[in-house]
A and B are shown apart, each in its own frame.
Chain A
């Protein structure tokens, strides 16, 4: 029973932290052009372990974004997920809650030397996913993205706060979470319409304590990565390394993660 509880808590923590640590500067502070579509998919491999068990999760999120106006864009995300516990060969798979996001352009300045953009967003899951995978609660999220792009360099900061179980439907093991992502990247022009972009990301998340069960968890990932872009198509790879973890529950340790992605804009 205790083991099952540990697995449930760890599983939820793993999924939530994975979703928060988006990777590859997903939420830039620059809203897309009007009438611009963005299709994006990733393959994420992640895991947790302790002395007695190892848990791994594979995720395939598919994201569709659209610029309704230059100052307002929407995004929808669906995700297939498969969780497995290596010790006992148990696995669960299914479709996670759909996630909807709307982003607003608060400020944008374009100059010859740099571009600066600030874009807040509001978002929420829709709790209709498969029961073993999804959270079964509404978890609204607010966030702020800032992008500073001095020509061939880029700094992206994304900060968000998730209110778990906003409708207080369940007394879950979840609690509110704060997340901060910072991405630094350079752009190496190859030939016309192509760039190679080395990326270094810092992903921090802080899951507060709740009344019900699990304690506070703070973790920091440092993630080197690479993006190759040809015209409107980009391929990306990111390796997320856990460098700091403060886990009051001492359930399981985070393992390194791999994110492979593809993005197309039209």
Chain B
């Protein structure tokens, strides 16, 4: 029983350490994102099927393969995909749809352009 308590305590400590580290990382990411939004064209899409933060990474990996995409970030909670375009480029929605499908998600077709 002592060993179990010790292991569980270790897990809890580990979780909180990771969380503290993650909080700092998130803050840095948000600052970088807001700078990008100021400088580039950004499109926001609704994507269905993401159910955890890990899913967002799979989607971003696919979308970032598009030539016209400079970077992307997905938010599983809001079901949103934010795409930052390369300067003077146009995003082909059909190509984006194919990439979203490769990530096993579904793109809601009516998008809003920021």
Contact = CB atoms under 8 A, between A and B. Distances in A.
A230 B53 contact: yes
Interface in A197-240: 226, 228-235, 237, 239
Most buried by B among A110, A112, A190, A195: A110
Nearest to B102: A34
B84 interface: no
Q: Interface range on chain B: under 10, 10 to 19, 20 to 34, or 35 or more?
A: 35 or more
B26 interface: yes
Contact of A35 (B7, B11, B62): B62
A111 B26 contact: no
Given A112-B79, A235-B11, 5 more contacts: A36-B61, A151-B51, A154-B51, A187-B51, A229-B54
B7 A260 contact: yes
A33 B59 contact: yes
A195 to B, nearest CB: 6
Determine the main DSSP class of B at the interface with A.
helix
Contacts of B26: 191-194
A110 B49 contact: yes
Most buried by B among A111, A231, A258: A231
Interface in B27-76: 29-30, 46, 48-49, 51-59, 61-62, 75
Contact of B54 (A69, A108, A232): A232
A230 B103 contact: no
25 contacts: A33-B55, A33-B58, A34-B103, A36-B61, A69-B102, A70-B101, A105-B104, A110-B48, A110-B106, A115-B51, A187-B52, A191-B22, A192-B26, A192-B75, A194-B19, A228-B18, A229-B52, A229-B54, A230-B18, A231-B56, A233-B18, A235-B11, A260-B7, A266-B57, A266-B61
Interface of A: 30-36, 67, 69-70, 105, 108, 110-112, 115, 149, 151, 154, 187, 189-196, 226, 228-235, 237, 239, 258, 260, 265-266
A33 B62 contact: yes
B56 A193 contact: yes
Given A108-B104, A112-B79, A194-B19, A265 B51 contact: no
B38 to A, nearest CB: 19
A196 B52 CA distance: 10
A262 to B, nearest CB: 10
Most buried by A among B19, B56, B59, B75: B19
Given A191-B23, A194-B53, A229-B53, A115 B18 contact: no
Interface of B: 4, 7-8, 11, 14-15, 18-19, 22-23, 26, 29-30, 46, 48-49, 51-59, 61-62, 75, 77, 79, 101-106, 108
Nearest to B58: A33
Nearest to B51: A149
Contacts of A187: 51-52
Contacts of A189: 77
B104 A32 contact: yes
A108 B57 CA distance: 19
A242 to B, nearest CB: 15
A170 to B, nearest CB: 37
